[in-house]
């Protein structure tokens, strides 16, 4: 399953399938990007990050892709599990340093169907 930019708030996938969550960021000067997972009633949980000098980074079951030409970021989750159900936010740092704060995308609600 795949979400489209910031305009598809919900993505539903079958358990075991791969999912792709997309994000279009706003500022070409942003040089640090983070994906967060937020479960109901909890704070955002760090998933994976990437700096602008890279175009791909892999973690455990997750991959982040960065396309600076079109200012696009994606999160791929392999073999989705029920525990992956949450809202996923991309966040960008504008200004070249974390101490400037993060700007978040609108979020995608990922639903894992059994």
Using CB under 8 A as the criterion, which residues of the chain lie in contact with other proteins when the complex forms? 32, 34, 36, 41-46, 49, 89, 93, 97-107
- For the bound state, the minimum distance from the C-beta of residue 17 to other proteins, rounded and expressed in Å, comes to 25
Q: Which is nearer to other proteins, 15 or 100 (CB)?
A: 100
Neighbours of 81 (CB within 10 A): 12
- For the bound state, the minimum distance from the C-beta of residue 14 to other proteins, rounded and expressed in Å, comes to 25
Q: Which is nearer to other proteins, 15 or 39 (CB)?
A: 39
Q: Which is nearer to other proteins, 65 or 87 (CB)?
A: 87
- For the bound state, the minimum distance from the C-beta of residue 72 to other proteins, rounded and expressed in Å, comes to 18
Using an 8 Å Cβ cutoff, are 67 and 80 in contact? no
């Amino acid at each position: 399953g795949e979400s489209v930019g910031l305009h598809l708030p919900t993505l539903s996938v079958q358990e075991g399938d791969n999912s792709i969550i997309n994000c279009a960021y706003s500022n070409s000067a942003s040089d640090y990007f983070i994906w967060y997972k937020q479960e109901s009633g909890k704070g955002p949980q760090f998933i994976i990050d990437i700096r602008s000098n890279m175009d791909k980074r892999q973690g455990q079951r997750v991959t982040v892709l960065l396309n600076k030409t079109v200012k696009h970021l994606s999160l791929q989750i392999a073999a989705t599990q029920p525990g992956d159900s949450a809202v996923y936010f991309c966040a960008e740092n504008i200004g070249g340093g974390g101490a400037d704060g993060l700007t978040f995308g609108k979020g995608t609600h990922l639903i894992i169907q059994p």
